[in-house]
Amino acid sequence: MNKLFPDAASALEGLLHDDMLIASGGFGLCGIPERLLEAIRESGVKGLTFASNNAGIDNEGIGMLLRTQQVKKMISSYVGENKEFERQFLSGELEVEFCPQGTLAERMRAGGAGIPGFYTKTGVGTQVADGKEVKNFGGEDYILERGIFADLAIVKAWKADETGNLVFRKTARNFNQPAATCGKVCVVEVEEVVPVGSLDPDCIHLPGVYVQRMIVGAPYDKKIEFVTTRERESA
């Protein structure tokens, strides 16, 4: 089975539709599937729900889809660096389901493992628990969290072999690994595709069985979320 497609638009062909749930990897601007997000923007689909740690920043990552009003709901844990996100949320244009970071990762992992729900102490007694089932184990309360079963998963990896075995680069692994498992279809953009057998089996982070389609997205520009400088020292 040839999993490699020539570009993002062709890799997403037949998969996109309005009102779908997309699980997206990345953390801030680290390890985000830039080319796939650009193709989703260009497709014009709308009413999207994204399960993602955050929405990037203004005009970068999922932030570019907020600008075009294609996102109706975010399931996220951190959203503090996106002014358009803030504006849409406060104006009631965007629905937001806040989810603790570890819980979000586990919800994705649970969906990928076919687990419909699990109990956790995180969020007990807070707004996170509102409307959720509470159960007592050993004298302590836990809340029921649902696994995430996405229509589509989009992730970014560093290297892949031709069968879709993936290697992520350092912290860019972040949410990419659990997000990749919880979609009915997983589309991956990678920096490099190598021949089968080139990757050390002990170093593969995600088996190719989870991957249906791939593109090579390189080259990439290094984007910096926060630019911090210091004054130049005088001679």
pLDDT of residue 80: 77
pLDDT of residue 222: 76
Q: Domain segments of the chain: what residues?
A: 8-119+146-216
pLDDT of residue 154: 98
| Residues contacting residue 98 through CB under 8 Å, at least 6 positions apart | 76, 77, 79, 127, 128
Contact 137, 144 (CB under 8 A): no
Phi, psi of 112 (to 5 degrees): -65, -25
Q: Minimal CA–CA distance to 3: which of 118, 161, 158?
A: 161
Question: CATH code for 8-119+146-216?
Answer: 3.40.1080.10
pLDDT of residue 220: 82
pLDDT of residue 230: 84
Contact 32, 25 (CB under 8 A): yes
Weakly modelled stretches of the chain, pLDDT under 50: none
pLDDT of residue 79: 82
pLDDT of residue 28: 86
Q: ∠ at Cα 146 (174, 121), nearest 5°?
A: 80
pLDDT tens-digit map of 33-76: 999 999 999 999 999 999 999 998 888 999 999 999 999 999 99
Query: Using CA of residue 135, residue 49, residue 168, residue 180, what is the dihedral sign?
Result: positive
Q: How far is CA 80 from CA 31, 55, 57, 58, in A?
A: 18, 9, 9, 11
**Whole-prediction pTM value?**
0.93
Helix (H, G, I), strand (E, B) or coil at 150: strand
Helix (H, G, I), strand (E, B) or coil at 199: coil
pLDDT tens-digit map of 105-127: 999 999 999 999 999 999 999 99
Q: How far is CA 136 from CA 98, 128, 139, 141, 143, in A?
A: 23, 17, 6, 4, 9
